[in-house]
Amino acid sequence: MIRVLVAEDQTLLRAALCEILGRDPEIEVVAECPDGATVLAAARASRPDVAVLDIEMPDVDGLEAAALLAENLPDVRVLVLTVFGRPGYLRRAVDHGVLGFVLKDTPPTELIAAIKETAAGRRVVDPALAVSALERGRSPLTAREREVLSLSRTVATTAELSGQLHLSEGSVRNVLSTAIQKLHAHGRAQAALIAEENGWL
């Protein structure tokens, strides 16, 4: 029996996933999480073999939750689900030790097969996404550049960015300028959009 934890912030979708997985005689859903912040505690309590994590969750997203599991419960294998086929997500997922990466429009039979492959320790990746990730390569951004670009989507001025990041305004401008150049963008808004579309933020 494969013990599975499901983390999905949309209640209806989470219930549907659990129902679909529960129909398979080889799978038992042992925990349900409404967000990424509760994944580690739920996994500690239920000891799943596989954690099925949505990437797009508020506060702690699926990739952050996967990193927490890898650090604290390395025996739990992770399969992530996403609506977005962004190559950067795949790269980051692999960096966090994720074995499975499946799009949400995957048929239920293929999702169940992917969970079984993940439980067996084998990597499962949507083929089209794997090709796209290889074509686009790794993110050219440093961790600091990602942080500044990500925050710049919601913070209007350089002074505000400086205050929130505890950096000088000059440092913030330099980081943004470098990120903009690397992404061949015309400004920070376009740079953030390019990075987001590639799953690099």
Residue with tokens 């376009």: 190
Cα–Cα dist 189/4, whole Å: 40
In 3D space, the residue among 75, 81, 77 whose CA is nearest the CA of residue 110 turns out to be 81
The residues of the chain scoring below 70 in pLDDT are 84-87, 128-138
CB 50 within 8 A of CB 144: no
pLDDT for 129: 66
Residue with tokens 């042992």: 30
CB 179 within 8 A of CB 145: yes
Which backbone phi and psi does 171 adopt, to 5 degrees?
A: -65, -40
What domains sit in the chain, N to C, each tagged with a CATH number? 2-136 (3.40.50.2300), 143-197 (1.10.10.10)
* E runs forming strands in the chain: 2-7, 27-33, 50-54, 77-82, 100-103, 124-125
Tens digit of pLDDT for each residue in 132-185? Answer: 555 565 678 888 998 998 888 888 788 888 888 888 988 989 999 998 888 888
Which backbone phi and psi does 11 adopt, to 5 degrees?
A: -55, -45
